[in-house]
Structure 1
Amino acid sequence: MLKMENWRVSAEVERDRFLGFTGEHLARRLEIRARVPGYACKLDLEFEDGQKNILDLTAEGGVLCTDIRREYVACHGRVLAQVRGLKGDEVIKSNV
């Protein structure tokens, strides 16, 4: 599982750095252990070909999560991901 402290995301296990797909449903649940009270969080994705996508992150007991499905991924290859927190007019971003 990924973790985020002070808006800095890190992977304790190398395989957590990869989105990939498992199973026949071509989907993966992404989970980030984080405490961000009062923030609505998004996951900003940027693909190798320049396309972008934004996924909602749901807070569930100290974990931000989203399901990444095949149709949310624009192309194969490297993906840059960043957590964005929104609270009123305040916007804060994690590392990439």
Structure 2
Amino acid sequence: MLKMENWRVSAEVERDRFLGFTGEHLARRLEIRARVPGYACKLDLEFEDGQKNILGLTAEGGVLCTDIRREYVACHGRVLAQVRGLKGDEVIKSNV
């Protein structure tokens, strides 16, 4: 599982740095252990070909999570991901 402290995301285990699809549904649940009270969070994705996507993150007991489905992924290859927190007019971003 990924973790985020002070808006810095890190992987405790190297394999957590990679997205892939498991099972026949071609989806993966991404979970980030984080406490961000009062913030609505999004996951900003940028793909190798320049396409972008934004996924909503749901807070569930100290974990931000989203399901990443095949149709949300624009292309194969490296993906840059960043958590963005919104609280009123305030916007804060994690490391990439």
Partner secondary structure for residue 85 of structure 2: strand
> 1:63 deviation in Å?
0.1
Taking structure 2 as the reference length, the TM-score comes to 1.00
> 1:39 deviation in Å?
0.0
Match of 2:52 in 1: 52
Any idea what the Cα deviations from partners look like across 1:18-49, whole Å, max 9, x if unmatched?
A: 01110100000000000000000000000000
> 1:85 deviation in Å?
0.1
- For 2:71 and 2:25, the matched residues in 1 are separated by 11
Match of 1:68 in 2: 68
> 1:7 deviation in Å?
0.0
Match of 2:15 in 1: 15
Instruction: State the superposition RMSD in angstroms.
Output: 0.2
Partner secondary structure for residue 23 of structure 2: coil
- For 1:10 and 1:84, the matched residues in 2 are separated by 15
> 1:58 deviation in Å?
0.1
- For 2:46 and 2:19, the matched residues in 1 are separated by 13
| 1:20-39 alignment runs, 5 A limit | 20-39=20-39
- For 1:6 and 1:79, the matched residues in 2 are separated by 22
> 1:61 deviation in Å?
0.1
Which runs of no fewer than 5 residues in structure 1 stay unpaired?
A: none
Taking structure 1 as the reference length, the TM-score comes to 1.00
- For 1:19 and 1:52, the matched residues in 2 are separated by 16
Partner secondary structure for residue 86 of structure 2: strand
